Structure 1
Amino acid sequence: MERSNQNRVSIWEPLKIRNFLLLFIGENISVFGDQLYLVALPWLTIELTNSGLSLGTVLMAAAIPRAIFILVGGAISDRISPRLVMLVANILRTLLTIVLTLIVWNQATQLWHLYLFSICFGTLDGFFIPAVQSIIPRIVKKEQLTASNALSQGTNQLILLIGPALGGLLIAISGIKMAFAIDAVTFIFSIATLSLMKVSSNFNIVSKIKETNTKNKSLSKEILGLITGVREGLKYGWSNLALRTILLVVMVYNLIFIGPLRIGFASLAHSRFLGGAVALGIMNSAWGGGNLLGALMPSLLRNPLRIGTLLLILGGIQGSGLFILGFAPNIILASLIIVLLGFCSGFFVVTEITWIQKQTPPEILGRVTSFVMLSSFGIAPFSFAIAGLLVNLDLTILFTVTGSIILFMIALLAVNPSVRKIE
């Protein structure tokens, strides 16, 4: 009865908290801009090169520094304010987006520009992502975490439903430059809302910073402290058997799944479906719609499944969907399959985030979160490389091979009772 009441009441309750409301508004505006960027960048790359392999390497250029710096970003978020990390990262991303907009506007874009900007964005993402994941437990109560994550993820996915389709339409009408320009404006809005937040330094972090901020502190000691912080987060994540198991499974899963989504969608729109950028936007919106429905599920279930069982069920559905997507003859059928894939993803992501936040001590949450993000983003460069090679062979092969591998992996995990028992 208590759980049911919590689910029924608390889904909107976090919006009563000023800091969460500011974060919620600012980040959702920014996420909308990101959806335009995520349609514009692949489409610009495809137009310049007409190569799925080139798109894969551009995405790798962002994914590699993101993976390298994400652990450092988590440690920094624990040592100082996550809000400050987000604020600085967004200021720099605004400047980068403005420069990219001017280059595209002047029709001076070259492939090396996309590599350079991808590297810069990936680096900043490495700091921003663990900060935004670790700030919510600092501004809401523990019993509000499920509602906060469901609300944040659900609204993000609603934007994913609308944003990419609008982005594709915007590109078709006004050109790629307008998508990048609007993205820059949304970053500025996010900077404003972050500046209005007042987040105190909790969990004895203030005293720790004062202790290290002495006059005789050397740069080497600061770096050593940062490395120690990263090591502590890794040690905690690896010593927790349930967390380690989930992360390893998710890491292998993402190796197979991420690349076909990012590269496969763009390749389907370019080579199989009519509509070009509009078709790409529709598929990304279908993904967002499915994610929205899935993200809301954890807060609606009275008796949620064990996270291990949930991983097996949703993974099996996604493997099957990915396989079938390789044969989708039109945008309608492809979009229906993608909605199902997105539903499974949104369902699991909210469940996983809440599960980790509830069992991790707040003072190391940024580092553990970065460890979790590494299991996704750290593997992305390899996934993009594999997908880029497969799509150059054949688009159908990309989806059928990766879908079959996921199904085989899920079948192996299903016979292991220790995975099913993780809760």
Structure 2
Amino acid sequence: MKQADPAVAGPQAAIQWRRVLTLTVSQGLSLTGDYVLLVALGWTAVQLGGAGAITTLMLAGTIPRALTLIFGGAAADLLGPRFVLLRTTSARVLLLAGGAVVTLTTGWFWPLVVIAALEGVLLGLASPSSSSLMPRLASGDQLARANSLFAMVTRIAPIVGSPIGAWMIATGELWHVMAAVSVTCAISFVGVTVVTRGMTGGTRTPGENLLRRSGDGLRLLRTYGRLRWLFICAFCLDMAFGWPIDVALPLLVDGRGWGVASVAVVVVAFSSGALAAGALGALLAHRIPLVVRLVVSGAGIGIGILLMALMPSVVALATVGAAVGLMAGLNGPAIVTVYQQASPKARIGTAMSMLTLASIGTTPVSIVVFGALSAVIGITATWLVCGLVALAAPVAAVLALRQPVPTEEPVPTEEPAATDATPAPATGRDPGPSSVAPAPVAPGPEGADERAERPLAAAGLGT
């Protein structure tokens, strides 16, 4: 048995910082590589076939990912996150290395579609397992800090990765990009190997199989009121964000004659607010009341979206955008942590697959629905409708917190393999998700002490 990590030893140690930081850095590097690849693939598709080609490529990555998320959650629960992540990550390394060879020897478009589809399948299988790791490394109030730190890194990844991808494809070839991203995946593989060493495997009862367990996500939402309302909360926010940010912002700015640079100013302001909130959460999330992080911030997002449609100047729009980003940076980690802590330990992979599916699936729906509505009532009026949709999120959050904390049968634990942390003292919280190899994580509260982070769902090939 390993020696306890001195950085986390002691009765108050409810977080394994060494593993949390290893996971965050390795996954953040991998996600940055994914954005490098996303930009490079998109630009190559445009050169090969225009708008139709890039649409085909994005759908090839997104649809398989959404479909396999359901099976990914069941696989995480049945086989364990370590089993799934080591195999999917190593498969991605081989896929991207092979893709580099293919793109070096041919300039055809369709091999890129095959690579994007396989990448989507692997990411869909891996996402629920990845989302189930953090609750095994932190418990109680500390889970909010860990999730906030991870959320901050996921927001930095596109800011860093996108320009690198543009530079690499402008100065080099696509095979250079694929080879480089295969290296970032290899580093992620090493990180996952270290972080998941000694973790328990999955849980299986007689007669269960992957196909039967794949339907557990909807059953969980139907059975657990808290999960259901948190799912609705996340869905409303993602639905309200999709069209305004991706489509309406450039149209709004252009219609008011502010120039394209104004779009960048607003996006940077929003991102800065979100990053500041992520840093604040990583340091102090455990000291900020849950109602502020989950309910008040949700209301702030809705009000902010409403105000953005009415701002008379770029400065005012950017200021409100920064405030919305700040609220989103608090709210996102709050949703996921509460959701993680309310999920049955033996079904946390399946539960997280539903939350990720909500995020991935809502953006195209938002663009289609609100895009059609804007053709009828106009950009500003539709933006206001989005704000009203967002205001439904804090209502759903309140209803979620009013639901009883689910109880569940204990999940068998294995002999501790790495006692990096001691369980946090029980404080009447919701049972925390499955324990890491050390000792079982102490139950975490859920009525006044929940926390969260919403998994970032990157479009197309993003992790």
TM-score with structure 2 setting the length: 0.67
Aligned partner of 1:159: which letter? A
In the TM superposition, residue 117 of structure 1 has moved relative to its aligned partner by 2.9
Change (3 A) 1:414 1:255: closer
Report the equivalent of 1:356.
Answer: 339
Q: Aligned equivalents of 1:388 and 1:58: distance in 2? A: 22
- Residue 149 (1) aligns with residue 136 (2): no
Tell me whether 1:367 sits opposite 2:367 in the alignment: no
Q: Secondary structure at the match of 2:209?
A: helix
Match of 1:293 among 261, 270, 276: 276
Q: Cα 1:237–1:412, aligned 2, differ >3 Å: closer, same or farther?
A: closer
Q: Which residue of 2 aligns with 1:15?
A: 17
For residues 320 and 120 of structure 2, the distance between their equivalents in structure 1, rounded to whole angstroms, comes to: 29
Q: 2:119 matched to 1:121?
A: yes
Query: Displacement of 1:175 after TM fit?
Result: 5.0
Judge which range, 342-351 or 180-189, deviates more: 342-351
CA contact (8 A) 2:238 2:363 kept: yes
Aligned with residue 408 of structure 1, among 384, 388, 392:
388
| Residue identity opposite 1:26 in structure 2 | S
Q: Could you tell me how far 1:380 is from its partner in structure 2?
A: 4.3
Q: 1:192 aligns with which of 190, 204, 207?
A: 190
**1:404 aligned partner, one-letter code:** L
How many Å separate the matches in 2 of 1:319 and 1:116?
A: 41
Q: Which moved more, 1:298-307 or 1:177-186?
A: 298-307
**Paired residue for 1:173, among 171, 174, 199?**
171
Q: Name the CA shift for 1:265/1:404 in 2 (closer, same or farther; >3 Å).
A: closer
The 3 A distance-change label for structure 1 pair 247 and 257 is same
Q: Is it true that 1:304 corresponds to 2:308 in the alignment? A: no
Q: Superposed, which structure 2 residues align to 1:8-407 within 5 Å?
A: 14-16=16-18, 19-51=19-51, 55-105=54-104, 108-110=107-109, 112-174=110-172, 176-202=174-200, 208-209=203-204, 221=207, 224-258=208-242, 261=245, 289-299=272-282, 300=284, 302-306=287-291, 307-318=294-305, 320-321=307-308, 323=309, 342-383=325-366, 403-407=383-387
Is the 1:251–1:379 Cα contact (8 Å) retained in structure 2? yes
Considering fraction of residues, name the structure with more helix: 1
TM-fit CA distance, 1:199: 3.4
Counterpart of 2:288 in structure 1: which amino acid?
Answer: N
Write the distance in 2 (CA, Å) between the matches of 1:101 and 1:265: 36
SS of equivalent to 1:378: helix
TM-score with structure 1 setting the length: 0.72
Please state how far the C-alpha of 1:368 moved relative to its aligned partner.
1.1
Q: 1:26 to 1:414 in 2, by over 3 A?
A: closer
Counterpart of 1:406, as a letter, is C
State the shift of 1:74 in Å: 1.0
8 Å CA contact 1:26, 1:189 repeated in 2: yes
Alignment partners' CA distance in 2, 1:249 and 1:62: 26
| Amino acid paired to 1:90 | T
- Per-residue CA distance 1:120-179 (angstroms, 9 max, x = gap): 222212111111110122233444312221222223333343332333333333355443
> Residue 235 of structure 2 contacts residue 358 of structure 2 at CA under 8 Å; is this kept in 1?
yes
Residue 101 of structure 1 aligns to which amino acid in structure 2?
A
Deviation at 1:377, TM superposition (A): 1.9
| Deviation sequence 1:75-94 (CA, Å, 0-9, x none) | 11111220221121112222
Contact (CA 8 Å) 1:60, 1:384: kept in 2 or not?
A: no
**Corresponding letter in the other structure for 1:379:** T
Counterparts of 1:47 and 1:61 in 2: how far apart (Å)? 17
CA RMSD for the aligned pairs? 4.4
CA distance 1:154–1:122, change in 2 (3 Å) = same
Quote the offset at 1:420 in angstroms. 9.5
Shift of 1:260: 6.1
- Preserved CA contact (<8 Å) 2:39 2:166: yes
Q: 1:130 to 1:242 in 2, by over 3 A?
A: same
The verdict on how the C-alpha distance between 1:328 and 1:114 changes in structure 2, with shifts beyond 3 A counting, is: farther
Report the Cα distance in structure 2 between the residues aligned to 1:416 and 1:74, rounded to whole angstroms: 24
SS of the residue corresponding to residue 108 of structure 1 reads coil
Whole-Å Cα distance in 1 between the matches of residues 56 and 342 of structure 2?
Answer: 37
Alignment gaps of 5+ in structure 2: 1-7, 253-258, 403-446, 448-463
Q: Percent identity?
A: 22
8 Å Cα contact 1:14/1:20 also seen in 2: yes
Contact 2:15 2:143 in 1 (8 A): no
Query: 8 Å contact 1:165–1:285 — kept in the other structure?
Result: no
CA distance in 1, matches of 2:152, 2:274: 7
In the superposition, relative to structure 1, how do residues 44 and 264 fare at CA in structure 2: closer, same or farther (>3 Å)?
Answer: farther
Q: Which stretch shifts more, 345-354 or 333-342?
A: 333-342
* Partner SS state of residue 375, structure 1: helix
Q: Does the C-alpha gap of structure 1 residues 149 and 421 become closer, same or farther in structure 2, counting only changes over 3 Å?
A: closer
Deviation at 1:367, TM superposition (A): 1.4
Look up the SS of the partner of 1:186 in the other structure.
helix
Cα distance, 1:362 vs structure 2: 2.0
**How far apart, in 1, do the equivalents of 2:14 and 2:313 lie?**
39
Shift of 1:409: 1.8
Residues 291-334 of structure 1 show CA distances to partners (whole Å, capped at 9, x for unaligned) of 3223234343533352234323213324654x589x999xx999
Cα distance change on mapping 1:159 and 1:231 into 2, 3 Å: closer
